[in-house]
Amino acid sequence: MTTHKTFNILILGASYGSLLAIKLLAAGHHVTMTCRSSTAALINDQGIRVRLPIKARKDLGNNGLLEIDSRQLNGKLVASTPQLVENLAGFDLVVLAMQEPQYRQDGIRELMTAIAAAGLPCMPIMNMPPLPYLERLKAYHPSLDLTACRVAYADPSIWDGFDAELMTLSSPDPQAFRPIDEPVNVLQVALPTNFKVARFASSQHTAMLQQLDADIEAIRYNAASAGNPADWVELPVKLKVFDSLFVPLAKWSMLLTGNYRCVQAQTVRPIREAILQDMEASQNVYEWVAGLCVALGATLGDLVPFDKYAQAADGLAKPSSAARALLAGAVHIERVDLLVQTLATQLKMSHASVDETVALVNSWLVKNRSATA
């Protein structure tokens, strides 16, 4: 373990990135977040506010939600547009907290190139593992053809300059949203699960993650109102470091079973309908994707059993974000479905339902791109 220090962390993306940022700030670390200029101005003036559900604490008001204000925390927060981020050498860690297609945008693309050139350790919080992270999986399956996988990425060239040794991956398991009619510096957590991050190749960089893990675990927040005695509350949503590179990939089964199967030929459906309408078919898809992960090198202990996933299905009342994006005319979404199919083809594996899902998503993208053109 490294000696205890305060880290300077750059987070790309102020929406989902605010969730990890508030935990880092509460642990005393310093955060710079990139976002649009108007959002940056608001955050620099008013901070960020994250609402966390505290189990068995309805007495806190607001239906058990505890609002954490970054201005009351020990860490320092700065928001900036990507173009104005300076002195990359001053950062200890870069967190990539956006969906994969967003890194191709002007300003972000140039910052990504600079981050790669600076040789900074990167922790994406993404469903879609960056290509350099897949390079690390080749230690378990040397025959993987990553060139064939490039088709699944909106712009695979974004990742060409990154060193696989400096790339890890965290699962975006906690679910959060920006409440309607609230300022964009407010985030509300719906499912307070943990970020699950794999070790770095380097023991030094892994030790940094382990310190962040321990610092976030140790946070106790004073939830007492003015004039009341101190009420130190343990905050949900931790950062958990794992030795296995496959733990962050456990979400693939969930995505292919629920999120992408929301997409239908002419419309989209809620996640719970995609899962519960035919539980036998859902379990078959789920376990097939888990089997693919095992074929790549995972153990069953790295993954989440279907029963545990199915228990949460009834609460997933909306279509997935990917399905809603397609319905709204998106011309790019994260293609974990296509990546899974591509990897499976290399391992001589296939599944009819997965193939059907990929074909449906392809057809929506073709239609949306045609309409845009």
pTM over 0.85: yes
pLDDT of the residue at 373: 85
Q: Per-residue pLDDT for 3 more than 90?
A: no
Q: Please, are residues 296 and 343 in contact by the beta-carbon 8 Å criterion?
A: yes
Per-residue pLDDT of 346-356, as tens digits, reads: 999 999 999 99
Domain boundaries, the chain: 8-242, 249-372
**150 has pLDDT over 90:** yes
Q: What is the pLDDT of residues 166-220, one digit of tens each?
A: 999 999 999 899 999 999 999 999 889 999 999 999 999 999 999 999 999 999 9
Sheet containing 170-171, strands listed edge to edge, beginning at the edge strand earlier in sequence: 170-171, 195-198, 239-242
The two structure tokens encoding residue 49: 């506010």
pLDDT of res. 191: 86
Question: How many separate helices (H) and strands (E) can be counted in the chain?
Answer: 13, 14
Please tell me the predicted confidence (pLDDT) of residue 2: 44
Is the Cβ–Cβ distance between 26 and 74 less than 8 Å? yes
**Second-level CATH architecture of 8-242:** 3-Layer(aba) Sandwich (3.40)
Q: How many CB atoms lie under 10 A from the CB of residue 212?
A: 25
CB atoms within 10 A of CB 226: 4
What whole-number distance in Å separates Cα of residue 127 and Cα of residue 16?
13
Q: What is the pLDDT of residue 228?
A: 62
Rounded average pLDDT over 297-310: 95
> What are residue 282's phi and psi, to 5 degrees?
-65, -45
- Find the length of the chain: 373
Burial class (CB in 10 A: 0-12, 13-18, 19+), 60: middle
Considering the four listed CATH numbers 1.10.10.10, 3.40.50.720, 1.10.1040.10, 1.10.3720.10, the one that applies to the domain covering 249-372 is 1.10.1040.10
Average pLDDT in the 58-82 region? 89
If you average pLDDT over residues 137-153, what whole number do you get? 96
What number is the average pLDDT over the span 313-329?
92
Neighbours of 11 (CB within 10 A): 27
Q: What are phi and psi of 276, to 5 degrees?
A: -85, -20
Share of the chain above pLDDT 70, in %: 96
- Contact (Cβ atoms closer than 8 angstroms) between residue 29 and residue 75: yes
Q: What are the tens digits of pLDDT across the range 206-261?
A: 999 999 999 999 999 988 765 566 788 899 999 999 999 999 999 999 999 999 99
Structure tokens at 15: 């929406």
Q: 69 - beta bridge partners?
A: 49
pLDDT at residue 225 in the model? 60
Report the mean per-residue pLDDT for the chain.
94
Question: SS3 letters for 39-51?
Answer: HHHHHHHHCCEEE
pLDDT of residue 63: 72
Please write the tens of the pLDDT for every residue from 98-115: 999 999 999 999 999 999
In order of 4, 21, 50, 139, 367, the CA distances from 36 in angstroms are 33, 17, 19, 39, 29
The pLDDT confidence band at residue 57, using thresholds 50, 70 and 90, is confident
